[in-house]
Amino acid sequence: MQDTPAPSLFPLFLDLRGRRVLVVGGGDVAARKVTALLDAHAEVAVVTPALDASLAPLVRTQRIHHLDTTFAPHQLDDAWLVVAATDDPTVNRAVAEAAAARRLWVNVVDDAELASAHLPARVQRGPLQIAISSGGSAPMLARHLREQLEAQFDESLATLAQLFVGLRSRLRARLPNLSNRRAYFRRALDGRVQALLRRGDTPAAQTLLEAELEQHTGTPRGRVSLVGAGPGDPGLLTLRALRVLNEADVILHDRLVSTDVLALARRDAQRIEVGKRVGGNHDATQQRIHALMIEHARAGKHVVRLKGGDPFVFGRGGEELEALRAQSIDYDVVPGITAAVACAAHAGIPLTHRAHAQSLRILTAQAKAGDAEHDWAALAQPGQTRVFYMGVSGLVRLRERLLAHGLPATTPAALVENGSLPQQRVIAATLADLPELARDHAIQAPALMIIGEVAALSTRLHWFGSLPITPASARCRNDDLARAA
Ligand code: SAH
């Protein structure tokens, strides 16, 4: 039997105060749902001919209505939500179908397929709630996560949330501007308030929050954070980058920045792709980036200029800071893991090695006008590792140059495509045969070339993704193809 994939659910928090919810079933599972619904101040009606002992007092004290009968569709008439919690699958199905016919949301206990509404695992701290769902695919996993979160967030959050409720109208009056309020929260939540709450000193925490509010004035000053997003795997983002992404009002990102990384950013931050395209007018794009940064920062926004890898390694970060400086706009820089470092790690190629390489050169295969002009003779010297960015289209010319200046054709060379990403491919060859192997395997940007003795270590030290492609493995594949033909 083929398992159907888990549905992609839409999370939603319901205000059930005074609204009728029908619970069909009267056992202990139903009783648990009833308790949760009463906590949300719902008006609960329970349909069951056999009432659980724990529910009886609730009926007596009129906290719930008891319909002492079996389920019938008309009982749904004034309900907003239905929970089918009997141990009889036929009854649960009948409830689900009747609810669907009336376009009512129905939760069916222990039957994700029948349910149109799922009850999440949740962590609650006063008015603050975290709901977790696996769409019915792995409830144990959701529960496991819940336990972790329970441990991570202590009870002081409940008091904190209550304090903010008390401050809400004053906060809005004093700081009508949203980014201003956000800045206030950032300051107010820097840890001191929570430390006081953990000690149980709520009055001191409240005084501190209020004092911060009195001090916090003026329109916000916009600024720009130049942030390195690393090579694409969100695990390789720095903690600071993550924090800044969650503070951003506007995110100007390159095309190379992965969707997984963008998904970690503040949900309501405005995202603008400003990537340079192959063959596009790069200078015009760069001017547009400068203009956008300046425009949004002037409007008081916190702009995050998000770049693949590190912003100061072939990222034109310097030019962007110059443009900001000229306009007296505040900025900061968050470094990222550059492609050379990420690709080397994920291909099992140490960039330096006591036996093979005492220096490392980071180079571009492109330059302002056509091919990069490097000191080729120096690059042909032994004992170093050369890393070329942006080189896929110029591999043959790169080889020519290096050979012409005396680098042996047998020098190990590796090409890492989509380094650190699940689809990573590594070609491990020599300077002589790398370009043709790359062509045969249709290697495309983004890819990084590593030339030097260390490149040979990939075939032994690789640990991530598929095995490196070598001239020998390529020959085997060709032989197989020939035999199959
Ligand atoms: N600022 C970036 C580099 C931008 S230039 C950094 O620090 O990494 C773009 C070049 O980076 C690409 O042409 C490619 O050579 C390299 N690159 C970026 N991400 C890569 C990846 N995941 N795998 C291989 N190369 C990558």
For the domain made up of 341-483, give the CATH fold: 3.30.950
**DSSP H or E segment with residue 270:** strand 270-273
Percent of the chain with pLDDT over 90: 70
Using most ligand atoms within 8 A of CB, pick from 448, 451, 458 the residue to mutate for ligand 1: 448
**d(CA 140, ligand 1 centre) in Å:** 39
Q: What is the pLDDT of residue 417?
A: 97
- Write down the domain spans for the chain: 20-119, 156-215, 223-337, 341-483
Task: Please give the mean pLDDT across all residues of the chain.
Answer: 91
For the domain made up of 223-337, give the CATH fold: Cobalt-precorrin-4 Transmethylase; domain 1 (3.40.1010)
**d(CA 343, ligand 1 centre) in Å:** 9
* In the predicted structure, residue 349 carries a pLDDT above the cut 50: yes
Please confirm, yes or no, whether 276 is among the known catalytic residues.
Answer: yes
398 pLDDT band, cuts 50/70/90, is: very high
211 pLDDT band, cuts 50/70/90, is: confident
**d(CA 399, ligand 1 centre) in Å:** 20
Burial of 266 (0-12, 13-18, 19+ CB in 10 A): middle
Q: Which of these is catalytic: 254, 301, 307, 310?
A: 254
- The residue ranking higher by pLDDT, 195 or 204, is 204
Ligand 1, atom 6, residue with closest C-alpha: 309
Q: What is the pLDDT of residue 369?
A: 56
Ligand 1 pocket by Cβ (under 6 Å) = 231-232, 256, 307-310, 313-315, 338-339, 343, 389-390, 416, 418-421, 445-448
Ligand 1 atom closest to residue 312's alpha carbon, by position in its atom list = 1
Residues 284-309, mean pLDDT to the nearest whole number: 94
**d(CA 278, ligand 1 centre) in Å:** 14
* In the predicted structure, residue 276 carries a pLDDT above the cut 80: no
**The two three-digit tokens of residue 349, written as one number:** 């190629």
Return d(Cα 133, Cα 125) in angstroms, integer. 18
**d(CA 232, ligand 1 centre) in Å:** 10
485 pLDDT band, cuts 50/70/90, is: low
Amino acid found at 372: A
221 pLDDT band, cuts 50/70/90, is: confident
Using most ligand atoms within 8 A of CB, pick from 256, 349, 417, 458 the residue to mutate for ligand 1: 256
**DSSP H or E segment with residue 326:** helix 317-326
Ligand 1, atom 9, residue with closest C-alpha: 390
Burial of 411 (0-12, 13-18, 19+ CB in 10 A): buried
Q: What is the pLDDT of residue 217?
A: 65
* In the predicted structure, residue 253 carries a pLDDT above the cut 80: yes
Amino acid found at 398: L
Omega before residue 446 within 30° of 0, cis: yes
Please confirm, yes or no, whether 254 is among the known catalytic residues.
Answer: yes
* In the predicted structure, residue 435 carries a pLDDT above the cut 60: yes
479 pLDDT band, cuts 50/70/90, is: confident
Percent of the chain with pLDDT over 70: 95
| pLDDT tens track for 128-150 | 999 999 888 888 899 899 999 98
* In the predicted structure, residue 1 carries a pLDDT above the cut 50: no
| pLDDT tens track for 90-130 | 999 999 999 999 999 999 998 889 999 999 999 999 889 99
Return d(Cα 254, Cα 143) in angstroms, integer. 37
Q: How far is CA 472 from CA 347, 387, 454, in A?
A: 18, 24, 19
**The two three-digit tokens of residue 30, written as one number:** 């139903």
Ligand 1 atom closest to residue 416's alpha carbon, by position in its atom list = 24
Neighbours of 105 (CB within 10 A): 17
Neighbours of 296 (CB within 10 A): 20
Return d(Cα 39, Cα 42) in angstroms, integer. 8
**d(CA 363, ligand 1 centre) in Å:** 11
Q: pTM for the full model?
A: 0.71
**d(CA 444, ligand 1 centre) in Å:** 12
Ligand 1 atom closest to residue 315's alpha carbon, by position in its atom list = 1
Using most ligand atoms within 8 A of CB, pick from 257, 306, 390, 458 the residue to mutate for ligand 1: 390
Ligand 1 atom closest to residue 391's alpha carbon, by position in its atom list = 15
Return d(Cα 136, Cα 345) in angstroms, integer. 37
Q: How far is CA 145 from CA 125, 149, 154, 163, 255, in A?
A: 16, 6, 15, 27, 32
| pLDDT tens track for 31-82 | 999 999 999 999 999 999 988 888 999 999 999 999 999 999 999 999 999 9
Residues 185-206, mean pLDDT to the nearest whole number: 84
The architecture (CATH level 2) of 20-119 comes to 3-Layer(aba) Sandwich (3.40)
Ligand 1, atom 25, residue with closest C-alpha: 447
